[in-house]
Amino acid sequence: MTKPPLSILLCAPRGFCAGVDRAIQIVDLALERYGAPVYVRHEIVHNKYVVEELRRKGAVFVEELDEIPDTGQPVIFSAHGVAKSVPAAARARNLFHLDATCPLVTKVHREAEVHHRRGRHVILIGHAGHPEVIGTMGQLPEGAVTLVETLDDVATLDLPADAPLAFTTQTTLSVDDTAAIVAALTARFPGITAPHKEDICYATTNRQESVKAVAPQVDALLVVGAPNSSNSQRLREVAAREGCERAFLIQRASEIDWEAVGTIETLGLTAGASAPEVLVEEVIDAFAERYDVTVTSVRTADETIAFNLPRELRQPAA
C-alpha cells in the first residue's frame, strides 16, 4: 500500500545543550573513575530516558542528601543548581561531592550574590517550585529574593518605589513572556538594575527561535522532552503562539497521539535541551512507518559552546 507523503521540518538547534552535555559527562566520568554507585541529588537533567540510562550504569538518584549513606563515593548535584545549604550539608558529612550545575545557572547565582552585597533586593523571574528557582533563591538569605511568575505578580509587588532593586531570571523561560515581564518591571521601577547579559541561556533562546521559524509552516509540531522540563514546555507554548494549533510535548514515540496529530502533510519536530537525539530519531522512525517521509533541517543558529568539567574529573586518575 502506498504511504502518504510527509515533509518533516527538523528544527536546529535542538536537543542537548552544553550544560546538559556537561552534566551527563560528569556522571559518566564519575562512574568510570570511581565505580558504582555514584549518587545524584535530583534528576541530573529532566529526561526520563537519560536518567534510566545512567541508573542502568550504576547511578543512584535521590531527592535529598539524607537518603545517601555515609560513603566515600561521589555525590553529584544536578545541572539545575542547588541552594547553598546543600553543599554545606555535604561538607558537614564529609561527602565527596561534584557540582554539575550548568555554568550559566551559576552565573545567575553569582549575579544575585553581587546584587545582595550591594544592598539591592533581588526580583527573580521564574516558575515556583522549579529546581533552578529553588537553587537561585537559596543563594541568599530568606526574604532577600522575591519571585515573580506573571505580569499580575509585577502589578501587585509590594515594594517601596525608591527601594534599590535588581532582577535576574530563570535560564529556561519563554523569551517573549520574560521580555513582557521585564518591561512591566522597568515601568514600575525605573531604577531597577538589569543583568549585564541576559540570563535566559543561549540554548533556550536558539531552540525557541528555531520553533518560531518552523511552526507557521507545518500542520503539527512535536516537542520531544519531559513534562517537568521547563525549556521543553516553553517550546510547545512558542509553537502554539506562532500559529501551530497542533503542538504537542511527548517524551518519546510511544506517546504520539495519532488521532490528535490528525491528517497532516507537514510536521515540525524539535527536542528540549535535555532530550537526546536518539529519541528524535525514534519519532522520525515512527512516522516513517505510516508515511513516505522527507526530512529537511531548518537551522537558525550554530552552537559551538562547550563547558569545562569539574577539576576533579579533569585530573588524571590516581
Owner of C-alpha cell 543563594: 139
The three-point CA angle 58-227-225 to 5° equals 70
Amino acid identity for residue 141 in this structure:
P
- Cβ distance 121 to 159 under 8 Å? yes
Rounded-to-integer distance, Cα 261 and Cα 45, Å: 28
The beta-strand segments (E) located in 83-219 are 97-99, 121-125, 145-148, 165-169
Q: Is position 67 annotated as part of the catalytic site? A: no
Among 202, 226, 172, which residue's Cα sits nearest to residue 306? 202
CB atoms within 10 A of CB 216: 11
The residue from 63, 67, 113, 132 that is catalytic is: 132
Give the CA distances from residue 9 to residues 237, 247, 276, 302, 315, in Å, rounded to whole numbers and listed in that order: 18, 14, 18, 17, 42
- For residue 269, the Cα-to-chain-centroid distance in whole angstroms is 18
Rounded-to-integer distance, Cα 78 and Cα 61, Å: 10
DSSP string, 7-45: EEEEEES-S--HHHHHHHHHHHHHHHHH-S-EEEES-SS
Residue 141, all three cell numbers: 538569605
Among 294, 285, 284, 273, which residue's Cα sits nearest to residue 230? 273
Q: Which residues pair with 77 in a beta bridge?
A: 41, 99
Rounded-to-integer distance, Cα 268 and Cα 8, Å: 6
Catalytic residue positions, numbered: 132
